[in-house]
Amino acid sequence: MAQNPRTSETESTPTTGRNTGLTRRNYVRSLAAVATATTALGGAGAAAAQDDYEVIEAEGQTITVDSGETWENKLIDMTTGQDIIITAHGSGWTIRNVGFKGENTSGTGTATFGISDTGGETSTVENVYLGDGSSTGNGNPNGHGQTAFWVAPDHSGHIDFKNVNIQNFADNAIYGSAPGNKGGGTIHIDSCFAANCYVSHFRLATEGSKVTNSSVYVDGSEGYAGRGIWAWAPGTIEIEGCQIQMNGQNTAIDAGANGNPTEVVVKDSDYDDQADIAEHAGSSVQLGDDVGTNPEAFIPEGTPTSAEEAASGAGN
């Protein structure tokens, strides 16, 4: 499964639109700090000893994480200009403390992570930094660039994403809608940050899947401007405690695709009403009384802001 092939779920939107703004509630880091960490390799975790993690140079290889295995404390050097693929398609696996240093300029248009839990168990992705993004170049005739995480259709268990930072990817940040067509597994995205990615940032489809305590940011000036949260059938998808700051770009919450309806329930969140909400094919987005339209994107506590910080496990 070296290429992590994606399905035909490819409804797309034009690109437009890095990071400013302050935190609130438990929002402990500013987006300005993220921009600094992204451009200055090392960032907040620079002081960590290299002995705390293994450095792996991207050489076009595929790394497989097996059932029950924990793959952790890795710094992936993307400055080689080549690709690397990490696959985990068993059960009860964990990917933890992984940071990618440098932009993915390989042009392969694959998925960096191809994952699923196929045994009905719970697998985990936590403390991962993919904030240096990917270039637009690729040979895919459908125009896809690099996806950060692709969840395979066979996913039948549960995956927890926690403290993951994804920015400037030329395709979806977390592409988790494919199980809606087959395996029916659930996904919980919690305390994560995604910014300036193409197509969509968080993309889910199955009943019980949700995004909580997380943020989407599109700055509207440069880079990619995909949808904030995209819900596919069958749903219902839950959104709670989130900030979706789009600066008027694309759509904040998009429900339904390929002629199939879904339902989204939103609580205790703010979304950009200039980007607004879209409901397709009879879909419904239900907004709670505690939902506002003054979003302030945030980096959740414990979410890494550099490759080194992630690889060393700093902040956990």
287-312 residue pLDDT tens: 999 999 999 999 999 999 999 999 99
Average pLDDT estimate for 41-53: 48
Say yes or no to pLDDT of 94 above 80.
yes
CA distance 44 to 41: 9
Q: Is residue 94 part of a domain?
A: yes
pLDDT at 18 (0 to 100): 26
Q: Is residue 16 part of a domain?
A: no
Average pLDDT estimate for 146-170: 97
Q: Is residue 22 part of a domain?
A: no
Q: Do residues 174 and 200 lie in contact, with contact meaning Cβ atoms separated by under 8 Å?
A: no
Say yes or no to pLDDT of 165 above 60.
yes
Q: Is residue 23 part of a domain?
A: no
Q: Is residue 1 part of a domain?
A: no
pLDDT at 33 (0 to 100): 44
Q: Is residue 40 part of a domain?
A: yes
Least confident of 20-24, 165-169, 175-179, 191-195: 20-24
**Number of domains observed in the structure of the chain:** 1
Q: Which amino acid appears at position 40 of this protein?
A: A
pLDDT at 220 (0 to 100): 73
Say yes or no to pLDDT of 99 above 80.
yes
Q: Is residue 141 part of a domain?
A: yes
Q: Is residue 9 part of a domain?
A: no
Interior/surface letters 191-200, b for 16+ CB within 10 angstroms, e for the rest: bbbbbbbbbb
Alpha-carbon torsion, ordered 192, 196, 200, 201, to 10 deg: 0
Expressed as residue numbers, the domain containing 259 is 31-312
pLDDT at 30 (0 to 100): 43
Q: How much is the pTM?
A: 0.87
| Residue range 116-126, pLDDT digits in tens | 999 999 999 99
Q: Do residues 165 and 129 lie in contact, with contact meaning Cβ atoms separated by under 8 Å?
A: yes
pLDDT at 258 (0 to 100): 93
Average pLDDT estimate for 142-163: 91
